Amino acid sequence: METEMRASKSEKGYTERKYWWKITTIAELKRHVKGALIKWGIETLSHLLEKVVRYGLDKWSVRWVGNWLTGHTQRVVVNRSYSNWQPVTSGINIGPKLFNIFVSELDGGIKCTLMKFADDTKPSGEVDASEGRATLQEDLDRLEEWANKNLMKFNKDKCKVLHLGKHNPGVQHRMGSTWLEISSVERDLGVPVDNKLNTSE
């Protein structure tokens, strides 16, 4: 699986730190930027095995993944002390490689800048003009439609909007029927980033 994995452009861009480089470049041009920080809440994985098959894994590997996802339990071991076995009820435990396979088609039709890392998805774009604000909302609608089609859902309680740039119009955005909370600071891989692009609290 290691050799078969091919990161999409949105995954590579994030890991190479191109996302914040692009955002700060736009902000330095005194344009207004908006980013939506989206969290996955994965509870259903019925399409994952189909995607693993399409990815070209052999039958043995597909069967192994299927067995691992079905009736899976886990426990924690620390200094030879064992916790009780617990059922895995959330798909977030599938691990980064399987998760990346699952969301590899997420970029389709997206017009704004989109970066993905683990269960974080960040669409962003310039919002000086109404066209830019409309494009970002259309992309949020596409992401919501993709999630519904793939029997997944976003954890909308953790989805935030970060307005960047002085005198940003501060327009609200929604996912489905849920209006996203506007935040002044969010953590990105543990590093706090505020609406002025400062990286310390």
Q: How far apart are CA 193 and CA 173, in angstroms?
A: 20
Per-residue pLDDT, 49:
75
What b-and-e string marks burial along 183-192, b requiring 16 or more CB atoms within 10 Å of the CB? Answer: eeebebeeee
Full set of structural domains in the chain with CATH: 9-44+91-194 (3.30.70)
Q: Give the tens place of pLDDT for each residue, 44-103.
A: 555 677 777 888 888 888 888 777 767 777 888 999 899 999 876 655 556 667 777 777
Token pair listed for 90: 């959330």
Report the C-alpha gap between 62 and 40 in whole angstroms: 24
Q: What is the Cα–Cα distance from 73 to 71, expressed in whole angstroms?
A: 7
The residue-averaged pLDDT of 12-17 equals 48
Residue that has been written with the tokens 């960047």 in this structure? 164
Question: The tokens of 178 are what?
Answer: 């849920």
18 confidence band (pLDDT: 50, 70, 90): low
Looking at every residue in the chain, the average pLDDT score rounds to 73
Mean pLDDT along residues 146-153: 82
